[in-house]
Structures are given as C-alpha cells and as structure tokens.
C-alpha cells in the first residue's frame, strides 16, 4: 500500500536531544499498600536517589515517590477491557484503595539502566502484593505477570504508543494528527505527524515506529533521515514544534514524510485507536473534603496505538474542565498570588456557613522524598497559616490526621476553596499532578 505525503520545507534543523529522560509508574495495591510491599518497592529502587523534585537536568538517576487514594482513579472493567494487558482479577482491581506512585528522571545515557531497575522493582512489589502496574506515560495497565514479562532491554515499540486525534478539533471526520507517548523515557523527542488521511493512519503509525527506532541511539536529530527496512522505505525531515494543549510533556518533533512511504498491505493493520492524554509531571495529591467532580468521559476520538501484533492500550479522555496553563511553575505562582490577594482577605473577613479553605503542603518523608497533604485552614495571621491536617500520613513521622499544623504562606503548594453552593475554586495545579 502506498501513500504520498507532500513535505513542507523545514525552517531549521532540529535541536540536540534532551540530556535526560523522564517517566512515571504506578502500582495499584490489593486493596491497600502493605508495609512489606512498600518496603519491597523502596528496596528495589534504592539505587535511585529519592528527592523532593527534579532539577532542569538530572545529574544522576532520581525519583520522587508519592501515594494516592481512590481519587487518583481506579481502573474499572471498561478501562481494563480497553487498555489492559494481561490484567488478572479485574474485580479485585476495582476495589483497590491505594496507589503507590513514582516519577523518574535520569541522564539520557542511563535511561535503559534506570528503566530496567524500575521495571524489576515494580515487578517484585506487584507480585508480592498481588497488585497491578500502570505505565503512566502510555497508560498501559498490566497484571503482575504481564508486567514481569516485559523486557526493558527489548524493542522500544513495547514501551511507547502512537495516539491520534483529529487534526482540526472542530472536524472529527477530517485528517488525523499522530503523536507518540513514551519516548521521553529514553530522553528522545516525542514525534508528531500531521495531516494524515484516516485510511493511512495505520501505515503511518508503523513509519513512526521505524523513525523512533532509528533515532533511538543518536545524540542529535538529523535534518533528514532515510528509512530502508523490510516494511518501511522513505525519507523524513524533522522540525521542533510547540506542543498543543493535549500533547505529552517534553519536546516535540514534527516528522514530515517526503516522497513515497512503502508499507506492505499485510503489515498495515493497526491496533484499536484510543484518546490522547497528558503525561504526569509531578506527584499527585489527595483531594480535601471530597474529590472534585470531573466532566464525564467524552466519546473516544480515533487514535492509533503503537503497531504491535496485539492491541495496545492508551489513556482515558481528559476531563474537559481542566485548565491548561503553560507550566506547573506558572500555575503555582498564579495560584499563590490569588490566594494572597483574594482568598486570604475573604477568609479573614469571615467565610459564609458551609465554606472552607484548605492548602496543599509538601511534607518531608522518612526516605528523603516529599508527601503532599491537605491542611484545612482555621486561622490566618499575617504570613502565618494555621489549620488541621486532613490526611493520614503514609511516610511522614510524627503526624496524624487531625493534628494542628502551622506554616508560612511560602510553604504551601496550592489551595482549594469550597463554596457554599458546592462549587470549588483553586487546585489549579491538579492537571499537572495526574
């Protein structure tokens, strides 16, 4: 089968690849995370330094650990059917009450080594506790045995997917825009191919697999790259582009396919398509009082999973009411500014009956990480905030739910203001923390 895709001249050669790699993994516990399972995971990850956050460039393998409850989103039967890989006991998974989370950053030349350590640690913890593992960058959800069978040194097509969405969001029946998710774990650019005819989507996803594999071992991206494999032949040019709202975290490269791309018809079948989503950036939090309601799932748009013999899952739809600021840092800065200018004066003037304000605060853990918890405010005096801890700490010594907490405004991370009519203001960092 042949498709001719007309190239547009690239204005500049793509920049060098990122010096570090990043990814995230979750362990759904059965039904809660026992101390033994947590210890097994921590021991398995001990060679990766635990930190409160990541620098702009990781000098060595680093991790940030977290824990969430059911507000994180426990996979149900529909999710398992669409995105599960060897998921056993789905009825038990639906009863999971706790999720252990880990985010990783590592130098690009140590990406494979770090992925192997993370894979083994989560395999051991999931097997010991009868849990399930989710790759948060691709949203593939694995049973413990299926996860253990993955080979971190194997083909990279096992570790990323290709999502597709309408090129024009207002025209769902038009051309597609294909985007990879998961290549950032190697320190590689995520790839984008635009204006793809629907009937060519499966073939182009195979081309993107070949491009990703060809770029994997390079320290920079060539202006042009010629493919000549058993299934793909053609030339691609690359250009760095700005992300769209629903694109994955990390730098993007637009791949423009020049001339004819040859894909034998028998190889052109693609896995079922699934909706695009964002990749997680930082530790999630437990919502105060009650978790905010999300918009109901939208009908899934067309998307193409990485072309493998078996269907590849992808992430569920994003809630449509989530804000889309440029960065986590900008969002947090705006939240703290509004808290000081608007929320504090309203609180000090006296909130109406039924209203409450809680602030999200990072607490240092026993292993050198950070655990985010909510503190419901009881008083504000100048820069000093006082309140009551709303969470049961997981890995923070000397604190219990209901304990009085005192902190400075500069120590808080975000806020949420529950209004009397049931609406909420704040928690604007949440889209970056899932």
Give the pLDDT score at 231: 73
CA distances from 347 to 333, 355, 375, 389 (A): 20, 10, 15, 18
Give the mean pLDDT of the chain. 79
| Average pLDDT value for residue range 200-215 | 87
Q: Provide the token pair at 20.
A: 């570090």
Q: In 3-state terms, what secondary structure has residue 49?
A: strand
Give the pLDDT score at 403: 94
Give the pLDDT score at 235: 84
Task: Give 14's pLDDT tier (boundaries 50, 70, 90).
Answer: low
Task: Give 34's pLDDT tier (boundaries 50, 70, 90).
Answer: very high
Domain annotation for the chain: domains and CATH numbers: 2-17+158-267 (no CATH), 20-156 (3.30.70), 328-433 (2.30.30)
pLDDT tens digits along 221-263: 877 888 877 777 788 888 888 888 889 887 899 998 875 655 5
pLDDT tens digits along 46-78: 999 999 889 989 999 999 999 999 988 999 988
From CA 434, how far away is CA 431, in angstroms rounded?
Answer: 6
Q: From the DSSP assignment, how many helices (H) and strands (E) are in the chain?
A: 8, 20
From CA 48, how far away is CA 58, in angstroms rounded?
Answer: 12
Give the pLDDT score at 17: 76
Task: Give 15's pLDDT tier (boundaries 50, 70, 90).
Answer: low
**pTM, 2 dp:** 0.60
From CA 275, how far away is CA 301, in angstroms rounded?
Answer: 5
Task: Give 290's pLDDT tier (boundaries 50, 70, 90).
Answer: very low
pLDDT tens digits along 92-147: 999 999 999 999 999 999 999 999 999 999 999 999 999 999 999 999 999 999 99
Q: In degrees rounded to 5, what are phi and psi of residue 194?
A: -110, 160
From CA 145, how far away is CA 82, in angstroms rounded?
Answer: 19
């Amino acid at each position: 089968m042949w498709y001719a895709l007309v190239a547009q001249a690239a204005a500049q050669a793509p920049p060098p690849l990122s010096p570090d790699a990043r990814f995230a993994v979750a362990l759904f516990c059965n039904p809660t995370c026992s101390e033994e399972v947590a210890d097994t995971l921590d021991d398995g990850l001990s060679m990766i330094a635990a930190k409160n956050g990541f620098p702009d460039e990781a000098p060595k393998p680093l991790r940030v650990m977290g824990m969430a409850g059911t507000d994180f989103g426990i996979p149900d039967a529909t999710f398992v059917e669409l995105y599960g890989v060897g998921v056993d006991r789905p009825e038990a998974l639906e009863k999971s009450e706790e999720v252990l989370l880990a985010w990783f950053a590592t130098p690009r030349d140590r990406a494979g080594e770090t992925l192997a350590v993370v894979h083994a640690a989560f395999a051991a913890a999931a097997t010991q506790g009868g849990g399930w593992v989710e790759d948060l960058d691709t949203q593939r959800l694995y049973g413990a045995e299926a996860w253990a069978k993955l080979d971190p040194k194997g083909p990279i097509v096992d570790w990323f997917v290709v999502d597709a969405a309408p090129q024009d969001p207002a025209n769902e029946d038009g051309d597609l825009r294909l985007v990879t998710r998961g290549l950032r774990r190697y320190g590689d650019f995520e790839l984008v191919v635009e204006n793809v005819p629907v009937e060519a989507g499966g073939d182009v996803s195979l081309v993107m697999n070949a491009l990703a594999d060809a770029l994997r071992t390079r320290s920079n991206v060539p202006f042009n790259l010629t493919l000549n494999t058993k299934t793909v032949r053609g030339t691609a040019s690359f250009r760095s582009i700005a992300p769209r709202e629903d694109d994955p975290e990390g730098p993007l490269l637009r791949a423009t396919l020049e001339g004819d791309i040859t894909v034998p018809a028998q190889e052109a079948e693609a896995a079922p398509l699934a909706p695009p989503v964002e990749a997680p950036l930082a530790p999630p939090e437990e919502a105060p009082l009650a978790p905010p309601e999300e918009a109901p799932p939208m009908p899934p748009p067309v998307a193409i999973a990485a072309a493998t013999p078996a269907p590849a899952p992808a992430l569920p739809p994003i809630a449509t009411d989530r804000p889309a600021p440029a960065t986590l840092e900008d969002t947090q800065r705006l939240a703290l500014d509004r808290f000081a200018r608007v929320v504090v004066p309203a609180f000090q003037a006296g909130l109406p009956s039924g209203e409450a304000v809680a602030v999200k605060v990072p607490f240092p853990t026993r292993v050198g990480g950070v655990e985010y918890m909510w503190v419901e405010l009881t008083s504000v005096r100048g820069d000093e905030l006082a309140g009551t801890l709303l969470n049961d700490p997981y890995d923070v010594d000397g604190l219990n739910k209901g304990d009085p907490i005192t902190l400075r405004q500069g120590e808080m991370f975000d806020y949420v203001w529950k209004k009397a009519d049931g609406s909420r203001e704040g928690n604007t960092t949440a889209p970056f923390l899932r």
